[in-house]
Amino acid sequence: MSTTALAWPALPLASWNDTRDTLHMWTQIVGKTRLALAPMVNHWWQVPLYVSARGLTTSRMPYGNAGFSVELDFIDHTLQIQRDDGRTWSMALAPRSVADFYQAYMAGLRSLGIDVHIWPVPSEIADGIRFTDDETHGSYDARAASDFWHALAQASRMLEIFRGRFIGKASPVHFFWGSFDLACTRFNGARAPQHPGGVPGLPDWITREAYSHECISAGWWPGAIGSPIVEPVFYAYAYPEPKGCPTAQIRPDAGFYHDVMHEWILPYDAVRTSADPDAAALDFFQSTYDAAATLGGWDRASLERGESSRSK
C-alpha cells in the first residue's frame, strides 16, 4: 500500500456508517462536558473538540481551581480522563450502546471527583434519542475509527496551513461534535444579517450567535446516510452567501456547488486519489475563499498575507 493511501485512507460511508453514528453520539457526550464547564467564547469556540496526536481531545477544561481533559484515543482505542493532579481514568472503546457509554463515562468522571451535569439529548439531530435511553447505536469498528481519525488529521493539517494565510479574525481548526465535522472559519469584521435558524435539535439563538458576523467557512465532513451528501467531502460556504456563488469558478475540476446544501463540495475521494492530495485540498480552500470574498466585497488587502503564503 502506498504512503499516500496510508495517510489518506479510503472511508466509504456504507462500510462504517453504524460506527460513525455511534461515534457521533459518543463525541456529543464528551463535547457536552466541555460545553458545561468552559467559559463562553464568541461563536461557541469553547465547545468543540480538537484533532490530537491520538484521536480527538477536549483540551484542558476548568473544574474549580483545577482542570482535566478527555481524549478519545483511536490508536489504543480507549477513552481517557486526565486530571491535572495526576489522577486518571480510562475505558475501552469497543462495541457498547450509547446508554452504556454514557453511564460508564459519567461514573468515570465521578470517580475522579468531577461532578458535571450535561443535557443528555443529542444536538443537531432530528428526534434524537436521549443518551440514557439509546440502545440503538452501539457499533465500534476499530479500523474504521482509526481511518476516520487519519482522515481528520489530514484535513486538519490542510486547514491549519490555509488558516495561516489569513491575518484577520479566524477560528481555530476545530471539530464540532454537533454537526460531526471539522471546520475553520474566517471573518471580515462586519455584522451579519440575523440567521434564520431552523437547524434540527438546536435552538435558533445558538445558531444566531454562531453566525453573528459575516464569515467564510471551510472544512471536512464524513457524510451521513439520509443526507444530501452520503460520502466524505471537503466543503466551503459563506454567510451571508453573496450573489454569484453557484456559478463561480473554483478548483480543482472535481469541485462543484451543491444547490441543496448551498455549499461548494469537493469529494474526499477526488482529493485522496489525486496525484497531489495536499495541493488539491488547498486549491479548493483557496479558490472557494477567493470566490466568496471577492463576490462578498471583503477588504482582502487588509485580511490576507499575500501571494507568497499561497505557495505552501
Local confidence band at 283 (pLDDT 50, 70, 90 cut-offs): very high
- Using a pLDDT cut of 90, give the percent of the chain over it: 95
Give the pLDDT confidence score for residue 307 in this predicted structure: 62
- pLDDT tens, position by position, 200-238: 999 999 999 999 999 999 999 999 999 999 999 999 999
How far apart CA 169 and CA 303 sit, in angstroms, is: 8
Q: Chain-wide mean pLDDT for the chain?
A: 96
DSSP per position, 186-203: EEEEEEPPPP----TTS-
Give the pLDDT confidence score for residue 4 in this predicted structure: 59
- Using a pLDDT cut of 70, give the percent of the chain over it: 96
Give the pLDDT confidence score for residue 306 in this predicted structure: 74
Residue 53: left (phi > 0), alpha (psi -120 to 50), or beta? alpha
Residue partners of 125: CB distance under 8 A and separation at least 6: 200, 201
Helix, strand and coil percent figures for the chain, each rounded to 5: 35, 20, 40
Residue 212: left (phi > 0), alpha (psi -120 to 50), or beta? alpha
Report the predicted TM-score, pTM, of the whole model to 2 decimal places: 0.95
Local confidence band at 28 (pLDDT 50, 70, 90 cut-offs): very high
How far apart CA 56 and CA 37 sit, in angstroms, is: 18
How far apart CA 49 and CA 174 sit, in angstroms, is: 6
Give the C-alpha distances (Å, rounded to integers) separating 270 from 220, 255, 265, 273.
13, 9, 11, 6
Q: What are phi and psi of 43, to 5 degrees?
A: 65, 20
How far apart CA 135 and CA 43 sit, in angstroms, is: 33
How far apart CA 36 and CA 23 sit, in angstroms, is: 20
